[in-house]
Amino acid sequence: MTLKTCKPFLRLIPLLCLVLLLGGCYSFTGTNISPEIKTISITNFSNASGQGPSNLQQFITEDFKDYFQRNTSLRLVPQGGDLQINGQITSYSFSPAAIQRTDVPAGGNIGLDQAGANRLTIVIQINYTDTKNQANSFDRSFSGFFDFPISQDINQIQRPQIQRITEPIIYKVFTSTVANW
């Protein structure tokens, strides 16, 4: 091999060194986890709202666990993890959304305001503890919503529809905890 044929490979050496250097504390999933942090515990969420499907807290807890396991190398432990997430569903509420004025009745000049959609809003209180660096710990609410057609029976909302709301919440918690954005 001549120097001319090796030149493209020589350009890759600094890039390879950079990847190896950053590999200790940064992953390509966007996390920024200290190498001393090895475990995470996510307790079963409670539902203080008293609303929603009977298994709401169960599948939100499982979705949190799945997301963190898929996107980090942390080992999930039942309790006492280096990182600890405790959650509580504080609100599961419906409200009218996309208010529209209906047609003016014949001979009248007053139309009616009517909801064009129903909005489901979920608020989750997260208590996050970083046992290795208490400055990263917090206790705050995260919320999300999704608008459903007015024709949809709100009592028939299932997990896939609820996940449209909880996925962004989980992402916000993820970026606030292990991504440090």
> pLDDT (tens digit, 9 = 90+) per residue, 106-133?
656 666 666 688 899 999 999 999 999 9
SS3 content of the chain, % helix, strand, coil (to 5): 35, 30, 35
* pLDDT tens-digit readout, 14-61: 544 444 334 444 334 467 788 999 999 999 999 999 999 999 999 999
Report the pLDDT value the prediction gives residue 22, as an integer from 0 to 100. Answer: 42
Burial group, residue 120, by CB count within 10 angstroms (0-12, 13-18, 19+): buried
pTM of the model: 0.76
Q: How far apart are CA 113 and CA 129, in angstroms?
A: 46
Average pLDDT, stretch 144-154?
Answer: 90
**Other CB atoms within 10 Å distance of the CB of residue 3:** 7
pLDDT at 2 > cutoff 80: no
Reported as a pLDDT band with limits 50, 70 and 90, residue 155 is confident
Average pLDDT, stretch 132-144?
Answer: 96
- Mean confidence (pLDDT) of the chain: 83
Q: Which residue has the tokens 């962004």?
A: 168
What DSSP string runs through 85-128? EEEEEEEEEEEEEEEEEPPPPTT-S---EEEEEEEEEEEEEEEE
Q: How far apart are CA 129 and CA 173, in angstroms?
A: 12
Stronger pLDDT, 152 or 41, i.e. the higher one: 41
% of the chain surpassing 90 pLDDT: 60
Q: How far apart are CA 123 and CA 97, in angstroms?
A: 17
Average pLDDT, stretch 73-88?
Answer: 97
Average pLDDT, stretch 64-69?
Answer: 98
